[in-house]
Amino acid sequence: MRVLKRTIRRLLEVSSFRFIVLFLVVAVLVSVMIVLTIDFAWDGRFNPELEFAGVLTPFLDGLLLVVFVTAMFGEIREEADRREAAERILNEAQRIAKIGNWSLELKTDTLNWSEEAFRIFEIDSPHFGASYEAFLDLVHPQDRERVNEAYRRSLKDKGPYQISHRLLMKDGRIKQVLEQGETFYDPSGEPLRTIGTVQDITASQQAEDAIRKLNEELEEKVRQRTQKLLEMQDELVRKEKLAVLGQVADSVGHELRNPLGVLSNAVYFLKTVLPESDETVCEYLDIMNGEIANANRIVSELLDAVRNKPSHVQSIAVKELIDLALRECNIPPQIQVIRDFSPQLPSLQVDINQLQQALRNLVGNAVEAMPGGGELEFDAFEDEASNTLSLSVRDSGIGIREENMGSLFQPLFTTKSRGIGLGLMVVKNLTEANGGRVIAHSEWGKGSTFTLILPIDQSLRCKREEG
């Protein structure tokens, strides 16, 4: 078939004049040979008149035939030229659009591809098996089953199919293509032929991936900016609350501490003049003394929350700082205190009084979270990269609900029936005043952990390393 097409194409490429001359020469030669043969066979000699008539007649007939054939060949050549031009335009259009077409003869399992289809798959037509299995071998191994399933399902449902899949190139590159096809059936319903297209959508897929990535990055930036704005809003609210508290803290502290001092002295006086009072009187005097202490503590927290006291940093060991804080805390006997850290840790460079108060607040909260007893654990470790030491206070109490974690350090926020919500804010302020920060972690029903990240005394650390 290919040899015949090439032969016809070469004949169509011959010009009309050459074709006429060639045909006439061949016709005259054939006529002369026929006439000479017949004349010689008739009487054994040659007759010039007969030979001339025998040559002229076929010459004129051949000339008419040549004219007719030439006209017919001209039309055929024009049609062939139109078809070739249309095929070139189609191939160029497919190349520009990166869309190839194909057809699969199901009876013979013969696959025909256009030039663009070969370019998309980056293979030469002589090296292609031209079958459905050969096509599947070119599909990315992870997509083959999905592609085959989509095509088989379209044959079963007798409907068109469309699927996007990957191609694995010989050099390891990956292309993304879009396959579309439709199957035609005979009157009995048997599939005959599938015709389809394949489009290289690698560039558009990469553009979509880039746009999706940019959208994700933009959404992340918006989320971060929103979070930052919310934090700034929370900080502004906190400062507004502190400003209001600051306006009344001094006067309230002065007005409350004076009568509290009088009440404390009165309780002391009554205990002195009534040493042999009954148990009920002594119990109520102790209750009064405890409530006076609580009121003084609240006033102190209020003043500490709104005042920015300068820090007087000193060097102190972790164990010593914890011991100083625990001496002023009332730890019930059902709570076990655990110290889980190395005695070789470097010393801290902090304001001892301020950090004692911060630890007392954390210990007080931990004790209140364990009314039935539990474990109060102190843990510490050094971070040499940041020259800091992390000191954690962990309890095994009821924990803090997740929705309350973001408001822990806000002023006047509390979940306790008794308290004004300043303890953790004081912890945060005092820790930050010493160049540190606080991290809170809690799980409802399992307990809470508050970690103070504090600066290390570099001078003592250097001496320790030199020693």
Query: Looking at residue 188, which CATH number applies to its domain?
Result: 3.30.450.20
Same domain flag for 353 and 461: yes
Residue 394, pLDDT score: 93
Indicate the Cα dihedral angle 237, 240, 242, 244, nearest 10°: -140
CATH of the domain at 420: 3.30.565.10
Assigned domain for 77 exists: yes
| CA nearest to 378, candidates 392, 364, 389, 367 | 392
Same domain flag for 378 and 259: no
Residue 356 CB coordination number (10 Å): 20
Same domain flag for 452 and 330: yes
Query: 3-class DSSP state for residue 303?
Result: helix
Assigned domain for 209 exists: no
Residue 1, pLDDT score: 47
Q: What is the distance between the alpha carbons of residues 384 and 170, in angstroms, rounded to a whole number?
A: 50
Same domain flag for 289 and 316: no
Residue 330, pLDDT score: 84
Query: Phi first, then psi: what are they for 220, rounded to 5°?
Result: -65, -40
Same domain flag for 294 and 163: no
Which residue matches tokens 């803090």? 400
For the chain, the residue count is 467
For the entire predicted model, the pTM comes to 0.46
Q: Which two tokens stand for residue 426?
A: 């004081």
Query: Phi first, then psi: what are they for 340, rounded to 5°?
Result: -120, 80
Last residue of a domain, one of 279, 303, 327: 303
Assigned domain for 218 exists: no
Same domain flag for 367 and 292: no
Assigned domain for 210 exists: no
CATH of the domain at 272: 1.10.287
Find out whether 317 and 341 touch, Cβ atoms under 8 Å.
no
Residue 244 CB coordination number (10 Å): 13
Last residue of a domain, one of 252, 269, 303: 303
Q: How many domains does the chain have?
A: 4
Q: Which amino acid is at 299?
A: V
Assigned domain for 216 exists: no
Which residue matches tokens 């164990």? 319
User: What are the angstrom distances between the C-alpha of 397 and each of 367, 422, 425, 443, 448?
Assistant: 8, 20, 20, 10, 7
Residue 342, pLDDT score: 85
Find out whether 310 and 351 touch, Cβ atoms under 8 Å.
no
Find out whether 337 and 326 touch, Cβ atoms under 8 Å.
yes
Q: What is the distance between the alpha carbons of residues 200 and 203, in angstroms, rounded to a whole number?
A: 8
Last residue of a domain, one of 94, 119, 136: 94
List CB contacts of 466: < 8 A, sequence separation 6 or more.
Answer: none
| CA nearest to 435, candidates 452, 450, 451 | 452
Assigned domain for 206 exists: no
Which residue matches tokens 């912890």? 427
Q: What is the distance between the alpha carbons of residues 120 and 446, in angstroms, rounded to a whole number?
A: 61
| CA nearest to 379, candidates 431, 453, 443 | 453
Find out whether 318 and 326 touch, Cβ atoms under 8 Å.
no
Residue 6, pLDDT score: 59
Assigned domain for 74 exists: yes
Q: Which two tokens stand for residue 80?
A: 């062939």
DSSP H or E run through 103: strand 99-105
Residue 182, pLDDT score: 92
Same domain flag for 179 and 282: no
Q: Which two tokens stand for residue 190?
A: 């048997």
The three-state DSSP-derived secondary structure of 321-363 is HHHHHHHCCCCCCCEEEEEECCCCCCCEEECHHHHHHHHHHHH
Same domain flag for 322 and 456: yes
Same domain flag for 179 and 115: yes
DSSP 55-84: HHHHHHHHHHHHHHHHHHHHHHHHHHHHHH
In 158-185, where does DSSP find H-type helix? none
Per-residue pLDDT tens digits of the chain, which is 467 residues long: 445 555 555 555 555 556 556 666 666 666 666 656 665 555 555 556 555 555 556 555 655 666 666 666 666 666 666 777 667 776 676 677 678 888 899 888 888 888 888 888 888 877 677 788 888 888 999 999 999 999 999 998 999 989 999 998 888 899 999 999 999 999 888 999 999 999 898 888 888 888 999 999 999 999 999 988 888 887 787 677 666 666 666 666 666 777 877 788 887 777 787 777 777 878 888 888 878 877 777 777 666 655 666 778 889 998 999 999 888 888 898 999 998 888 888 889 898 988 998 898 899 889 988 988 899 999 998 888 888 999 999 999 988 888 888 877 776 667 766 666 677 888 888 888 888 999 999 988 889 999 999 998 766 555 555 45
Same domain flag for 334 and 287: no
Q: Which amino acid is at 96?
A: I
Domain that holds residue 34: 2-94
Same domain flag for 434 and 325: yes
Identify the DSSP state of 369.
T
Assigned domain for 442 exists: yes
Same domain flag for 149 and 189: yes
